[in-house]
Amino acid sequence: MKFSLKSLVVIAVTALPFAAQAHKAFLLPSTTVLTESDHKITVDAAVSNDLFYFNHVPMRLDDLQITAPDGSSVAPENVATGAFRSVFDVPLAQPGTYRIASVSNGVSASWTEGGKPRRWRGSEATLKTEVPAKAKDLRVTQVANRVETFVTVGKPSLGALATTSVGIELVPVTHPNDLYVGEAATFKLLLDGKPTAGLKVTVIPGATRYRDQVNDITTTTDADGAFTVTWPQAGMYWLHASLAAEREGKGDEDDNDNGDKGKAGIANRRSAKPAPVSAERPRRVGYTATFEVLP
Amino acid sequence: MRTSLSIVLCGLASTPALAADLDLKLQIPQIDVVEYHRPYVAVWLERADQSVAANLAVWYDLKKRDHEGEKYLTDLRQWWRRSGRELAMPVDGISGPTRVVGEQELRFKSGTAPLGDLPAGQYQLVIEAAREAGGRELVKIPLQWPVQKATVLEAQGSSELGKISLAITP
């Protein structure tokens, strides 16, 4: 009895990072296609179950990176975080495409202290000083997560879309602000700068509140890391791909983006072999983007 | 021999003679709403692959301060995608103020801006209208260029555009 209670706690603790991931993070821009007489947009940032509604928690904006068409960094304005969402404005001083992203690259740790679960997030450098090395049930995971969206003033450009070779990144074949209903769009996904085959991609149209089915579109990247989506209707779309390193190489297993796979899924992940991505520790990488498809 | 030669010459002379007049009449319908704004309208010729062969007209609110009227040019969605986003507004000979309800007429001459010299081929005349706080409509008229004899092509809009007629005179 005592033993099973303990293992339950372990499951609960290890489930936490996955539970957090189960919800859908998104950046929702007020407009994606603008003219040069537009000077600003506003963006909502939240994590929720339904798209695109603010019904769970606001997104933390610590990792916000806004890139202007010329590659320079833009500071957000009027930043605020409420009960369900964060909000910020983006000044648009140049024509071209802006990339608005929340990029977290770091380490997350969970352990038990005095019988209570503890969680921590930070960098590899602060891990040593802030997390007791001999903590009970210590589990350290490397995290590379990117949540982003794109807006374009005038003609679409590619300057802001340069890749960094960290985590999963999107390379446009079709420009992300040139998406139209009924047309096919192709993108490539890179993992640490290299095209990744066999990565499962989930695409969900917004306005989920007003329909009974999720209507998700799932596809898998080909040998070049490319995948194609034909947009069934106009509107905002949420795109997600992730890789829990423990499962790498096991192909198109259940993704963890819906979070309701239950404890069996978690136990499955726990039992899987550590991945070669990081020799030292398991790694979680995720990519999420919001796209607008026009009629 | 002489006759056939003159026929050949005649044929040679007529082939490059692509000069023609385009006379476009388009109806902006009366719409009974509380808040009415004149529609933004774009007219262009597109090739079979939907690329733009000639931008003919863009009617929008030119008078607003700080080019604010340009903000809504994205509502002319198809035009914006095909060429608007590549242009710096206003464009001489193309931009114009919005027009009132009723029949509006536009005339173009081949060889002259904005129509210019059009290579022979299949085209579509595209008319797109978008109204603030209202709807959007796109009407296309397919045409073969050049025409051998005077031709009138017609189309009918259903919401933001009314009757459209295009008279081509070689």
Q: Is the pLDDT of residue B129 over 70?
A: yes
Q: Is the pLDDT of residue A269 over 80?
A: no
Q: To the nearest whole angstrom, how far is the Cα of A218 from the nearest Cα of chain B?
A: 28
Torsion of CA B142, B93, B20, B55, to 10 degrees: -20
Q: What is the pLDDT of residue A134?
A: 86
Q: Convert the pLDDT of each residue in A44-94 to its tens digit.
A: 999 999 999 999 999 999 999 999 999 999 999 999 999 999 999 999 999
Q: How many CB atoms lie within 10 A of CB A67?
A: 20
* Residues A36, B73: C-beta atoms closer than 8 Å: no
Chain B residues lying within 8 Å of A294, measured CB to CB: 77, 81
Closest partner residue to B67 (CB to CB) among A33, A37, A152 is: A37
Q: What is the pLDDT of residue A172?
A: 97
Q: Is the pLDDT of residue B7 over 50?
A: no
Q: Convert the pLDDT of each residue in A13-46 to its tens digit.
A: 333 334 344 689 999 999 999 999 888 999 999 9
Angle between helices A2-22 and A262-271 (to 10 degrees): 100
Residue B144 or A269, more confident: B144
b/e per residue A178-209 (b: at least 16 CB within 10 A): bbbeeeebebbbbbeeebbeebbbbbbbbebe
Find, in chain B, the residue whose alpha carbon is nearest to that of A153.
B85
Q: What is the pLDDT of residue A280?
A: 66
Lowest mean pLDDT segment, chosen from A73-77, A152-156, B117-121: B117-121
A92 Cβ contact list (under 8 Å, min separation 6):
A34, A38, A39, A40, A41, A98, A151, A153
Give the residue from B164, B88, B93, B162 showing the smallest Cα distance to B125.
Answer: B164
Query: Measured between alpha carbons, how far is B86 from A18 in angstroms, rounded to an integer?
Result: 45
Alpha carbon separation from A180 to A113, A231, A234, B75 (Å, rounded): 52, 7, 7, 14
Q: With the C-alpha atoms ordered A286, A287, A290, A291, is the resulting torsion angle positive or negative? A: negative
Q: Convert the pLDDT of each residue in A157-200 to its tens digit.
A: 999 999 999 999 999 999 999 999 999 999 999 999 999 999 99
Query: Measured between alpha carbons, how far is B159 from B141 in angstroms, rounded to an integer?
Result: 17
Q: Is the pLDDT of residue A9 over 80?
A: no
Q: What is the pLDDT of residue A22?
A: 65
DSSP A91-142: E--SSEEEEEEEEEEEEEEEEEETTEEEEEEE-HHHHHHHS-TT-EEEEEEE
Cα R_g (chain B), whole angstroms? 18
Q: What ranges make up the beta strands (E) of chain B?
A: 21-28, 40-47, 52-59, 95-96, 102-109, 121-130, 136-145, 151-156, 163-169
Q: To the nearest whole angstrom, how far is the Cα of B121 from the nearest Cα of chain A?
A: 25
Tokens standing for residue A81: 């975080």
Closest partner residue to A35 (CB to CB) among B71, B77, B81 is: B71
Q: What is the pLDDT of residue A245?
A: 59
Chains A, B: CB pairs < 8 Å: 32
The ipTM is 0.82
The mean per-residue pLDDT over the stretch B127-140 comes to 96
What is the residue type of A132? P
Closest partner residue to B70 (CB to CB) among A35, A152, A178 is: A35
Q: What is the pLDDT of residue B18?
A: 56
- Burial of B107: CB neighbours in 10 Å, binned 0-12, 13-18, 19+: exposed
Q: Is the pLDDT of residue A272 over 80?
A: no
Q: What is the pLDDT of residue A265?
A: 37
Q: Convert the pLDDT of each residue in A93-138 to its tens digit.
A: 999 999 999 999 999 999 998 889 999 988 888 998 899 888 889 9
Q: Convert the pLDDT of each residue in A240-265 to its tens digit.
A: 999 985 543 433 333 333 333 333 33
Q: What is the pLDDT of residue A135?
A: 87
Asked if A145 and A62 touch (Cβ cutoff 8 Å), the reply is no
Percent of chain A predicted with pLDDT > 70: 80
Q: Convert the pLDDT of each residue in A194-238 to its tens digit.
A: 999 999 999 999 999 999 999 999 999 999 999 999 999 999 999
* Residues B85, A38: C-beta atoms closer than 8 Å: no
Chain B residues lying within 8 Å of A181, measured CB to CB: none
Supply the mean pLDDT for chain B. Answer: 90
Query: Measured between alpha carbons, how far is B145 from A113 in angstroms, rounded to an integer?
Result: 81
The mean per-residue pLDDT over the stretch A268-274 comes to 38
Give the residue from A106, A114, A152, A150 showing the smallest Cα distance to A132.
Answer: A114
By the CB < 8 Å criterion, does B50 face chain A?
Answer: no
Q: Is the pLDDT of residue A275 over 50?
A: no
Q: Give the β-pairing of B151-156 and B40-47.
A: unpaired
Q: What is the pLDDT of residue A281?
A: 81
Chain B residues lying within 8 Å of A35, measured CB to CB: 70-71, 73-74, 85, 89
* Residues B81, A37: C-beta atoms closer than 8 Å: no
Q: How many CB atoms lie within 10 A of CB A106?
A: 17
Find, in chain B, the residue whose alpha carbon is nearest to that of A178.
B81
